Each structure stands twice: as C-alpha cells, then as structure tokens.
Amino acid sequence: MKLLKAAALSVSVAALSAGAVSAAEIKFSYPVAQDSTMGQTVTKFAELVEEKTGGAVTVRQFPQAQIGNEIQSISSAQGGIVEMAVTTTAGLAAMVPEFNVFQLPFMFGSYEQLDKVSRSPVSQKILDKMEPNNLVGLCFWDYGFRNITNNKRPVTSLDDVQGLRIRTIQNKVYIDALSAMGMNPTPLPFPETFTALETGAIDGNEIANDVTRSTSFYEVQDYLTETQHFTTISVVYASKKFWDGLDASQQDAVRAACAESSDYNREIINASSDETLEFLKDKGMQIDTISAENLQAFRDAVKPVVEEVSAQLDQEIVAEFMAEIEASKSAN
C-alpha cells in the first residue's frame, strides 16, 4: 500500500508539474503608454488570449519600452527572451525589406483602404517572411496616420517644411521621403524624442496624433499638420521558440485573438480621432490641414523615392500589393 501511495503521489506531482509547464505567460513588449490606443489594444488582446485559451496562456504587458525599444524587442523575441512584441513595419524592414511597401509615402488614402490591404493574402506573404528570422508574424495593428508637428511655424505647403529638423524612425524609406520633401530627417530612438524636442535639438516630429497625445509631446510642440504622409502600421509577432512550444489549439487561439484585437484597434482609433485633435487644441497646439493642390506637391516630391524603393523589392509581391491598393480604391 505504501508503494502504491508513493506511486500515486508521484503521478499527482508529475501531473501538477505538467500543468504548470503547459501554462504559458507571454511577456509582451511595446514602446508607448498603456493608456494609448496601442496599449488599450494590447489589453484587449490579453483579455482575448486568456478567454480563448481558458487561462492556459496569459499576457503580461511591458509598455513604454520597459524591456527594450522596438529594435531591441525584435532581438529579444528572436532570442526567446520576450515572447511577443508589436513593432512598426518601418522597424522590421531591415529584416524583411518587403515591409517597406507599407512605408511608401501617401500610399493609403483611408483607414478602410489600409485595413483591406493589410488583411489581404499578399500581406500574409510578407508576414510569413519573418519566420526564417525566428519570428512568427501574426497580424497588423496600427497607431494611425503619421503627421508633422514642429515648433518653428505652421505648415500648409511644401515650402513650409523646408529645412525643418524632424525626428523620424531609423528607416531608409522614411529618411529618403522626408529628405525629398525638403526636411532634415533626424532618426532617434522613441524614448529620446521628448527631451530632444524640449531642448531644441530637433524642431519637430512625425508621428500619429494619438502618440502626440499619450506621450505629452503637446507640451513641447506648437504646430500640428495633418499631412498623413505615412501610416504607422505595426506587426504583432511572436518568438518562434515560444510559438513552437504552444500546441495547435493555443496557436489558433492566439492568432484569433490577434485578428479580433485588430478590429478593436481600428474601432478605438476611429472613435478617438476627433476627440484627440480637440484635446491637442485645448493643450495649445495649432492644428492645420493641407489643401489638395498643396498636397499634390508633397506627392510629386516623393515619386522618385516610391519608384526607387519599389524596384529593390520582390517584384511579385510589389505587383500583388499594388493590385490590392487599386482594388481597395475601387471598393471605396
């Protein structure tokens, strides 16, 4: 009987240990505040993952680059140090150049168009290119269109941006496009941007309005112009080491949670758009727009960049991507 009891106890301990191993915690890294639209989307994702996996997989958030900026998060996920992160396509393009099709300036005219293209088969092909780099691309979220802010002057024409020192992402397409428009692009890690604006090391920023709000850039910026020159679309990805440790049903659940969170992400961006502009006005920022005629001058300035970048990528993917762009225009 003692032997049987000992055996039974061993089986129970083994079962508990197996259960503990099967429960997985996702350390999720992202660069902005938890109350931003991106932070709210991560919170929604965490709720959905726990719900869809019956608590077998949980998400622990690390906002505001607590465990690394975007580039550091990529490396940490590749090495299995963090399980998941969300990074702009601009940050991932050094690894998968085809992400640069999302960076092409003035490519998308609306969120509806962006959503159709980012959820198309060709966008999934681009996500799949991450896997040889020990990452699994799951879905796209975004921060909203990027706009110009600065402390020098209102911007309503191409002439107004000439010579402005504008912080941007370390991405060649961003840098070349801003240079083509006459700006002086200054790549900086996101956490360093506020201080650089505050001290006058740079004149301005190009970023989504929600980030201007959530990161309090309005405290150190006077003017905002809705140029919508780039979209800040981002990729949600997992460490392949972590991903391969999930069973098939858990992988399906996490993918489904990612896709559902993408819909939520769009809903809250749309819902908060006008209110965010009003908030920024109340904080003292001057909000300007650009006429269709003046905007065409911006578009014309960056055409050589669009042609040069497109020529360097997988031509089959470029053709499919442009076809999706055209199809999304006609659908609208």
pLDDT surpassing 50 at residue 299: yes
**pLDDT greater at residue 189 or residue 19:** 189
For residue 6, tell me if it sits in a domain.
no
For residue 1, tell me if it sits in a domain.
no
For residue 33, tell me if it sits in a domain.
yes
Whether the full predicted model's pTM is greater than 0.95, yes or no, is no
- What letters, b where the CB count within 10 A reaches 16 and e where it falls short, cover 122-144? bbeebbebbeebebbbbbbbbbb
For residue 8, tell me if it sits in a domain.
no
For residue 16, tell me if it sits in a domain.
no
What single string gives the DSSP state of each residue in 45-63? HHHHHHHHTTTSEEEEEE-
For residue 14, tell me if it sits in a domain.
no
pLDDT surpassing 50 at residue 215: yes
> Mean pLDDT across the chain, nearest whole number?
91
pLDDT surpassing 90 at residue 12: no
Per-residue confidence band for 329, with pLDDT thresholds at 50, 70 and 90: confident
Per-residue confidence band for 332, with pLDDT thresholds at 50, 70 and 90: low
CATH number for 243? 3.40.190.170
Provide the number of structural domains found in the chain. Answer: 1
Domain coverage including residue 43: 24-331
Rounded CA gap, 26 and 32, in Å?
18
Looking at residue 160, its pLDDT comes to 98
For residue 213, tell me if it sits in a domain.
yes
For residue 13, tell me if it sits in a domain.
no
- For the stretch 73-103, pLDDT in tens is 999 999 999 999 999 998 899 999 999 999 9
